[in-house]
Chains A and B, each alone.
Chain A
């Protein structure tokens, strides 16, 4: 195994990062919906080696009953890292970090889901990190949003997210584990791109004003790409159901 200190984070000569990507490049992204039969909606999202499974159940009755809200549905998010997701075994009990991430992801999704349509119910979202290599919270939101759409739960827009960071003095898109732990800054961003609204923004480390602006615009470009991928994977699934869509595809090809 390569020691982390041996890695050159940014090669100034070639202008590439430690894994050969240019600063604005994302890792290869793969998405799939409807991967679980027992869940109402589900999605699998991969950003390079980061691999995340999301499952949605509901709207359904809340247990325990005292959590019920009279005017709207509650969203319960469980962001969890599998014990085998990291190089060293992770204790499966929810850590401080996982509880915090569940909260920020819930707040991001609450901006999108029409919770007032289903009062006194719950929508449960399970986000399971199968393999962690940086950017799990943004990949988790992307997967959760896809799973919610797959479940047919009314929402304002899909949510897509990506983490940008500062590595070797350069602003880079989609930071991985090495860049996250050794870089100077890490900034996860999630948006509803169709509406142009930011639903999650965190910053670890420090960025100057100009760096922040640059990082933000790079994040928005990447998010728009992810958004298009989300749409095409959902469309692929649902076009198979609809005759009209099928005719249309034939016309295009």
Chain B
């Protein structure tokens, strides 16, 4: 009996089920179980949730052995920059050789002149002529770590100043719904409205359509997907129907 108990204690155990809503402090698992930081944490032998979220049990491979991992999907997220991410930023300040760009995260990014298509610098006024405060830019994150603000680059293909269209901000945790499975949702909206949609990693979306009406349609469709009263991602058909209904009404 005592031996059985010991065996049960030593065995890693998952204490929650798929789809459970958990809150900070709730026990997710006991023992040697994989989990995703920083949304869960280990307190001695116990794994607890750190944010409100939904539990997902994933099968992963660990040293050739199939094991279960507790994956906590948080309800709300703060965007943290990572090198390679495509972001939409708004210029908030201009230095002598760089722009300060708001990228919807706790850290403001820096865009050095060398990382744009500008050839040489002539100081503040020249920088301002190329990119002024309040203007949007599509860029890539070059580097970011705990000690330094992110550096972004607008040099690559498709990157640079956003001249037309609309930029909107959505909730980061809803971005996967807006993209859809294998981009099905965003492509369907593009087909239906004729607009081009660029979804950046920092939960900002650039919409560029043939006219204002199509851009507004996309905004309405995205806001419809994002609304909080939804409990699951809407189907592509549902959103297409919605767009057609709005088209007729206007």
The residue in A150, A152, A245 that gathers the most chain B C-beta atoms within 10 A of its C-beta is A152
Contact A240 B231 (CB under 8 A): yes
Contact check: which of A152, A231, A242 meets B54 at CB < 8 Å? A242
A125 shortest CB reach to chain B, Å: 15
Instruction: State the CA gap A247–B20 with chains docked (Å).
Output: 10
B81 shortest CB reach to chain A, Å: 12
B32 within 8 A of A: no
The residue in A157, A245, A248 that gathers the most chain B C-beta atoms within 10 A of its C-beta is A157
Contact check: which of B27, B48, B50, B52 meets A238 at CB < 8 Å? B52
Total residues of chain B contacting the partner, CB 8 A: 32
Contact B106 A241 (CB under 8 A): no
Instruction: State the CA gap A242–B107 with chains docked (Å).
Output: 30
Contact B48 A241 (CB under 8 A): no
Taken residue by residue from 21 to 42, chain B's Cβ proximity to chain A (1 for < 8 Å, 0 otherwise) reads as: 1011111000000000011010
Q: List 10 A-B contacts (CB under 8 A).
A: A121-B107, A152-B76, A153-B51, A155-B25, A156-B48, A158-B24, A234-B23, A238-B21, A238-B75, A239-B21
The residues of B that contact A246 with a CB separation of less than 8 Å are: 231
Residues 64-89 (chain A) with a chain B CB within 8 angstroms: 70-71
* 12 further interface pairs, Cβ-Cβ under 8 Å (given A61-B106, A155-B51): A59-B106, A70-B147, A119-B146, A120-B107, A120-B146, A121-B106, A121-B107, A156-B48, A156-B50, A195-B43, A241-B75, A244-B18
A-B contact count (CB 8 A): 105
- A-side residues, CB < 8 A to B, are 40-41, 58-61, 70-71, 112, 114, 117-121, 149-158, 192-195, 231, 234-235, 238-248
Instruction: State the CA gap A112–B76 with chains docked (Å).
Output: 18
The residue in B24, B27, B38 that gathers the most chain A C-beta atoms within 10 A of its C-beta is B24
Contact A235 B21 (CB under 8 A): yes
Contact B106 A149 (CB under 8 A): no
Contact check: which of B21, B25, B38 meets A195 at CB < 8 Å? B25
- B-side residues, CB < 8 A to A, are 18-21, 23-27, 38-39, 41, 43, 48, 50-52, 54, 74-78, 106-108, 146-147, 228-229, 231-232
B41 shortest CB reach to chain A, Å: 7
Contact B77 A152 (CB under 8 A): yes
Q: Enumerate the 10 nearest inter-chain pairs by beta-carbon distance, A residue then B residue, closest first.
A: A244-B19, A152-B76, A157-B25, A194-B25, A154-B50, A243-B232, A59-B106, A121-B106, A245-B21, A243-B231
The residues of A that contact B106 with a CB separation of less than 8 Å are: 58-61, 118, 121
Contact A154 B51 (CB under 8 A): yes
Contact check: which of A118, A152, A243 meets B52 at CB < 8 Å? A152
Instruction: State the CA gap A161–B102 with chains docked (Å).
Output: 38
The residues of B that contact A244 with a CB separation of less than 8 Å are: 18-21, 54
The residues of A that contact B228 with a CB separation of less than 8 Å are: 240-241
The residues of B that contact A59 with a CB separation of less than 8 Å are: 78, 106
The residue in A41, A71, A244 that gathers the most chain B C-beta atoms within 10 A of its C-beta is A244
The residues of A that contact B74 with a CB separation of less than 8 Å are: 152
Q: Which residue of A lies closest to B231 (CB)?
A: A243
Q: Which residue of A lies closest to B56 (CB)?
A: A244
Contact B19 A152 (CB under 8 A): no
The residues of B that contact A121 with a CB separation of less than 8 Å are: 106-107
Contact A157 B19 (CB under 8 A): no
Given contacts A58-B106, A61-B106, A245-B54, contact A149 B232 (CB under 8 A): no
The residues of B that contact A154 with a CB separation of less than 8 Å are: 24, 38-39, 41, 50-51
B172 shortest CB reach to chain A, Å: 10
Contact B51 A61 (CB under 8 A): no
A119 shortest CB reach to chain B, Å: 5
The residues of B that contact A118 with a CB separation of less than 8 Å are: 78, 106
A42 shortest CB reach to chain B, Å: 13
The residues of A that contact B24 with a CB separation of less than 8 Å are: 112, 149, 154-158
